Chains A and B, each alone.
Chain A
Amino acid sequence: DAGVIQSPRHEVTEMGQEVTLRCKPISGHNSLFWYRQTMMRGLELLIYFNNNVPIDDSGMPEDRFSAKMPNASFSTLKIQPSEPRDSAVYFCASTSQGGSTDTQYFGPGTRLTVL
């Protein structure tokens, strides 16, 4: 299995631009998570989906952030408009079954820099 796939791996953009991050979970997994990692705030859960339905988006910072999961094999995290404080590494993770004992499998992350 290829693991969780994220694209792009690196993104540099200017303030005000729209940014779209993409994630392909492991085939057969039915839960997907988006995290943000910064030095100041550590690892934060932004949103998670179960069977393509958003279950908890309380971690989404503000209306500039939105996430979709149109099907079981693809999800996007969009920031519009982007700001310099959005600079971070964004991780996608997936898991199966949905139980508390399950392992989350992380992608390699997208390093976002907003100038």
Chain B
Amino acid sequence: GDSVTQMEGPVTLSEEACLTINCTYTATGYPSLFWYVQYPGEGLQLLLKATKADDKGSNKGFEATYRKETTSFHLEKGSVQVSDSAVYFCALSNAGNMLTFGGGTRLMVKP
């Protein structure tokens, strides 16, 4: 079946540091790929998505590129802020609207 693997956290960075959270997937066909973010005490919300190979999703300074050859969708940001502290979930959707989530990566950004 489909699966998503993302790096375990927590990831601790200083403000303005570069961020990469790795995500790889296993799926048949051509899934859509998503990054969701969960701020403390809240539900998940969509951060960005890409629906086909080589698409780049971007939002709030975050980017991720759908790499079919490496089955990856790594999340990147050039300069993180304290307000980016949250849990980040990589997910895929394949032939329907059910999401398969990774385990989540907690990001802590220190001033």
Interface residues of A (CB under 8 A from B): 4, 31, 33, 42-43, 45, 48, 56, 91, 93, 95, 97-109
Contact A100 B45 (CB under 8 A): no
Nearest chain A CB to B88 CB, angstrom units:
12
Interface residues of B (CB under 8 A from A): 31-32, 34, 36, 41-46, 49, 51, 89, 93-99, 101, 103-104
Contact B43 A106 (CB under 8 A): yes
Nearest chain A CB to B10 CB, angstrom units:
13
Of chain A, the residue at the smallest CB distance from B49 is A103
Rounded to whole angstroms, the CA-CA distance of A91 and B34 in the bound complex is 18
Contact B43 A101 (CB under 8 A): no
Q: Give every chain A residue within 8 A of B104 (Cβ-Cβ).
A: 42-43
Rounded to whole angstroms, the CA-CA distance of A33 and B36 in the bound complex is 16
Rounded to whole angstroms, the CA-CA distance of A94 and B103 in the bound complex is 21
Q: Give every chain B residue within 8 A of A104 (Cβ-Cβ).
A: 44, 46, 97, 99
Rounded to whole angstroms, the CA-CA distance of A105 and B32 in the bound complex is 16
Contact A100 B43 (CB under 8 A): no
Contact A101 B98 (CB under 8 A): no
Of chain B, the residue at the smallest CB distance from A50 is B97
Q: Give every chain B residue within 8 A of A98 (Cβ-Cβ).
A: 96-97
Of chain A, the residue at the smallest CB distance from B34 is A103
State the 3 A-B residue pairs at the shortest beta-carbon distance, nearest first.
Answer: A106-B43, A100-B93, A106-B44
Q: Give every chain B residue within 8 A of A42 (Cβ-Cβ).
A: 101, 103-104
Q: Give every chain A residue within 8 A of B34 (Cβ-Cβ).
A: 103
Q: Which of A93, A100, A106 has the most CB of B within 10 A?
A: A100
Give 17 new A-B contacts, CB below 8 A, not counting A42-B104, A97-B97, A105-B46.
Answer: A42-B103, A43-B89, A91-B43, A99-B96, A99-B97, A100-B31, A100-B51, A100-B96, A100-B97, A101-B49, A103-B46, A103-B49, A104-B97, A107-B43, A108-B41, A108-B43, A109-B42
Q: Give every chain B residue within 8 A of A108 (Cβ-Cβ).
A: 41-43
Rounded to whole angstroms, the CA-CA distance of A45 and B59 in the bound complex is 26
Nearest chain B CB to A77 CB, angstrom units:
15
